[in-house]
Structure 1
Amino acid sequence: MSGHAQREKEMPAHSPGERRVRAQRAPAPDVLSPADRYQELFVAVQQSRVFEDSKTFVDCAPVGEPSDILSAYRAQCEAADFDLAHFVRAHFRSLQPAPTDYESVPGQPIREHIARLWPVLTRHPDAHPPASSLLQLPHPYVVPGGRFGELYYWDSYFTMLGLAADGQDRLVGDMLENFAYLIDTYGHVPNGTRSYYLGRSQPPLFAFMVELAEAHGLARAVDHLPQLRQEHAWWMRDADGLAPGQASRRVVRLADGRLLNRFWDERDTPREESWLEDVTTARHAGREPQEVYRDLRAACESGWDFSTRWLQGAAPASAPAREDGGRRKAETAPSLASICTTDILPVDLNSFLYRLERDIAALAAQAGDAATADRFGRLAQARRDAIHALMWDEASGAYFDHDWKRAARRTCLTAACVVPLFAGLADDRRAAALADTVRRRLVAPGGLATTERASDQQWDRPNGWAPLQWMAVQGLRRHGHNELADTIAHRWLCTVAAIYEREGKLIEKYALRAVDNEATRGGLGGEYPLQDGFGWTNGVAAALLALHPSHSARDCRARLPTGQHR
């Protein structure tokens, strides 16, 4: 453990009472998004691509009052010599970090590198820029890094695993209380702490955060029962009175009366952080643009943005494993314009919600509320039964998403199939069958593949992602499949170590090697360049190395410049 990490371990975490007092000092939330606030100026900037990355403008801080800036734009924009880029530079301050904000130390071991990155990735409430899209939080928090300079929901659980492994107890407690504050303030945890993210959430992992904090003596889970119930109510909004065959927001009642959930977004407009990209996609979709925008936004709520998982025309469940690791030309993959996220009942989302319902039942019983415990126990059992009836494929030995519009199980095998094991709803028989399927069809030389299909979307082959590795490892261990769990952990740690040794950094995603003698590379595809940092990669690497303290990756070091020696 580094000296910095040891000092953090020795510092007492804030008590829940202290955190609540600090939270009360946070200002009232400003929920206007950049599109709401700047209207036609926002459209002009994004349409003209004043910034190469669409996210740059929506993260800018205004220089002056936003209403005055909009008025000035309206007064000047029709002038023959009006220069939009010059106007934006004069009235907005870009907050994108410089690429050289942090330089890794040559020869530094990977564990020390990760420990030294936590303060670099930590943000503080007093640094909040006025009238920007950034949502105020009461406590310090850790961001992913790169272009992602705000708190993200499901990323943060995996980051918190690494913080806990490094003895950063205070930050773990602060992160948990920030999420409790978000639920108390907005009724849910937004995708990220930006006003333009308020229409959606991400995979609901608050219950897992609570469990982690309690395991480290930083919180009592029962004290967060109100937030757990509020989050569940938000995901289940409109469920009461929903007739068979109907859907509303995130809830779908199937023809047989079963109730399950899907991803959604309250808005059906282009994502503000990817405005031009979404407009271009919708233009090629051949259907109502609002439907396309909603499905794109819903895929972002899933955290898997984007993947052939959400598209029409994915590979069949019976597809054999490919000797080349599943690589096929991206042109053969369906177009993003065919996205149909809201037609799909995802196995991972419903597994997370099962876990949430089960935890609420257990905590309500602990609190002496027998009626609530009974109600949520029945909800959890009904959801578990529905997942097994609709999403388990006996012939393939795996869990698949369900297309509720077509009343059919989806056929693309994805790493989301491990989440029922991670969430604790699978039985040993299904877990054994799934372990065999994962071994044959998803395990690559570099770790666990995201899907069987290669495409130009970043949540497909050849890419691997840290959170999927962790959930697979933990889920398989839960059912005694330790050898496969160790194989995935070993291969992933070797992947992360290879890039770190060569380039001195951890990154958002990795292109998994298809064969053993292939060089490890950074991840491919997506809407933006590969990002360094990187919160959840750091967290999962630290947590896996804590589980495997003798792994060779622990000793890997960033390569020294030519001519230097260790």
Structure 2
Amino acid sequence: MPVQESLTEEARRILRANDRGGFTIPTAGLYPFQWLWDAGFTALGWMQFDEGRAWQELETLFLGQWPNGMLPHIVFHRPEPTYFPGPERWGVTRTPPTSAITQPPVVATFVRWMLEQAQNQAQAEAKARSLYPKMLAYHRWFKRERDPENTGLITVLHPWETGADNSPAWDEALARVEVDPALPPYIRRDTAHVDPTQRPHQSEYDRFLTLLEVYKRAGFDQLRLLRECPFRVASLLIDCVLHRANRDLLWLSRRLGFADEAEIEGWLEASQRGIESLWDEEAGLYFNRDLRSGAAIRVGVSASFLPLYAGTSSPQRALRLLRTLEGWARQVRYLVPSTDPYSPRFEPQRYWRGPVWAVVNYLIALGFADYGYPEMALRIRQDTLKLCEMTGFSEYFHPLTGQGLGGGTFSWTAAIYLAWGQAEGPLR
């Protein structure tokens, strides 16, 4: 059997093995629940061979949506002792239990893509129509409770919300979080599944959990947290994914006959300005921002290229980004490292401080293709597929050696292979 065909079968097997009856876990043991942005990528993978199951993934995810519209980053559909912090630590009293923070809002974009590529158009349109009001409520929550002053930038209140938990972009902002002296004791579960050198440090975990206690003391009141939370940043991953999602929500509104265009267009105008305010001309890169100090966080990360995916960049800035990434490529074997390989904070095997992530590669490549740079998009795609062929469907990969890191048999990596591996061009 040819390698590509064999890996396609393996990727499908992983999704089936990680299926828990309506939702797909990222990988057994390490991540035994349903995560928000994982579910979006996983649905895209299911879409390649089981369209009904793909739509079910997103419908199940929205069972965790809060009445205020917030879509939590974890839905605890059933008890599972191998993960910490579980529902008891979050203290959210609802059914199903969930976390109290969100994650990059990829869903509207993936619903559009799924609708566009569906073989069963009648089913797809019905599913998209039923999901649309829920997605609109989620995006309204972002605007109402995370950007009430219409700055065009979302305030992120926890590193876990960004999807890039221990990125060096958060080092200073997280260091200002004083560890709660009354922090309840805990035992990490992640390092029982993965080499600790590939995971966040204990000092970071103490602060992650301190912020969880801040959330609980505030009764999860977002507007109060905007004033009181010690960690407040603007995240390119959140802002760029949300901008693209709003573009696609606008498309869905028009396609499905909803009447929300003016509202969504207003969001897009604000976030266009907000994202472009993060550009640094000297560095030729976009930087995240510390919203407590107002200062740019001057460390390049893979999300620094996502304004191309969002579609906010000018052609001139897109060319600068291409040149910047070409420079990074001279320092690593596989693109795109999650941290600038020239930075002293670059750690090639520690979670979001250096490794390559297939899902972020997919978004970055789409951005370069959209701006007329198919060669770079193809390079990123080829690197991603090569990593899967070399070491399997790992959570993330070493950018110098290609070693698979983190969890194994990982759903979203398998999903990217299914969605991308069959394409004739650089993208879907």
Q: Which amino acid aligns with 2:115?
A: E
Structure 1 residue 418 displacement after superposition: 2.4
Q: How does 1:221-232 map to 2 (within 5 A)?
A: 221-232=128-139
Alpha-carbon distance change, 107 to 164 in structure 1, aligned in 2, over 3 angstroms = closer
Structure 1 residue 185 displacement after superposition: 6.4
Q: Which amino acid aligns with 1:429?
A: Q
Structure 1 residue 345 displacement after superposition: 0.6
Q: Does 1:459 align with 2:352?
A: yes
Alpha-carbon distance change, 499 to 142 in structure 1, aligned in 2, over 3 angstroms = same
Taking the aligned partners of 2:339 and 2:13, their CA distance within structure 1 comes to 33
Q: Secondary structure at the match of 1:263?
A: coil
Q: Residue 236 of structure 2 contacts residue 288 of structure 2 at CA under 8 Å; is this kept in 1?
A: yes
Q: Residue 262 of structure 1 contacts residue 349 of structure 1 at CA under 8 Å; is this kept in 2?
A: no
Q: Does 1:377 align with 2:265?
A: yes
2:234 alignment partner in structure 1? 345
Q: Secondary structure at the match of 2:113?
A: helix
Q: Residue 244 of structure 2 contacts residue 309 of structure 2 at CA under 8 Å; is this kept in 1?
A: no
Deviates more, 1:416-425 or 1:168-177: 416-425
Q: Residue 183 of structure 1 contacts residue 230 of structure 1 at CA under 8 Å; is this kept in 2?
A: no
Q: Residue 39 of structure 2 contacts residue 61 of structure 2 at CA under 8 Å; is this kept in 1?
A: no
* Larger RCO, structure (CA 8 Å, separation 6 or more): 2
Runs of at least 5 residues in structure 2 that lack an aligned partner in the other structure: 77-86, 91-97, 175-196, 209-228
Q: Residue 360 of structure 1 contacts residue 373 of structure 1 at CA under 8 Å; is this kept in 2?
A: no
Residue by residue over 1:451-485, the C-alpha shift from the partner in whole angstroms, topping out at 9 and shown as x without a partner, is 12324741012x11111111111111111111111
Taking the aligned partners of 1:171 and 1:469, their CA distance within structure 2 comes to 25
Q: Residue 45 of structure 2 contacts residue 415 of structure 2 at CA under 8 Å; is this kept in 1?
A: yes
Q: How does 1:479-490 map to 2 (within 5 A)?
A: 479-490=371-382
Q: Secondary structure at the match of 2:422?
A: helix
Runs of at least 5 residues in structure 1 that lack an aligned partner in the other structure: 3-105, 125-139, 239-249, 265-297, 315-328, 501-505, 514-518, 524-529, 551-566
Q: Residue 173 of structure 2 contacts residue 232 of structure 2 at CA under 8 Å; is this kept in 1?
A: no
Taking the aligned partners of 1:540 and 1:442, their CA distance within structure 2 comes to 22
Q: How does 1:408-557 map to 2 (within 5 A)?
A: 408-441=295-328, 444-452=332-340, 453-455=345-347, 457-461=350-354, 463-500=355-392, 506-513=393-400, 519-523=401-405, 530-548=406-424
Q: Secondary structure at the match of 2:65?
A: helix
Taking the aligned partners of 1:442 and 1:406, their CA distance within structure 2 comes to 32
Q: Which amino acid aligns with 1:436?
A: R
1:555 alignment partner in structure 2? none
Q: Secondary structure at the match of 1:309?
A: helix
Structure 1 residue 260 displacement after superposition: 2.1
Q: Secondary structure at the match of 2:10?
A: helix
Q: How does 1:119-268 map to 2 (within 5 A)?
A: 119-124=16-21, 140-147=22-29, 148-165=31-48, 167-183=49-65, 187-194=69-76, 195=87, 196=90, 197-215=98-116, 216=118, 217=121, 218-220=123-125, 221-238=128-145, 250-251=146-147, 253=149, 258-264=151-157
Structure 1 residue 334 displacement after superposition: 13
Q: Which amino acid aligns with 1:228?
A: M
Structure 1 residue 381 displacement after superposition: 0.7
1:118 alignment partner in structure 2? 15
Taking the aligned partners of 1:213 and 1:262, their CA distance within structure 2 comes to 29
Q: Residue 446 of structure 1 contacts residue 491 of structure 1 at CA under 8 Å; is this kept in 2?
A: yes
Structure 1 residue 261 displacement after superposition: 0.8
2:165 alignment partner in structure 1? 305
- Count of residues in correspondence between the two structures: 349
Deviates more, 1:107-116 or 1:167-176: 107-116
Mark the structure with the bigger radius of gyration: 1
User: What RMSD in Å do the two structures reach over aligned CA positions?
Assistant: 3.3
Alpha-carbon distance change, 107 to 399 in structure 1, aligned in 2, over 3 angstroms = closer
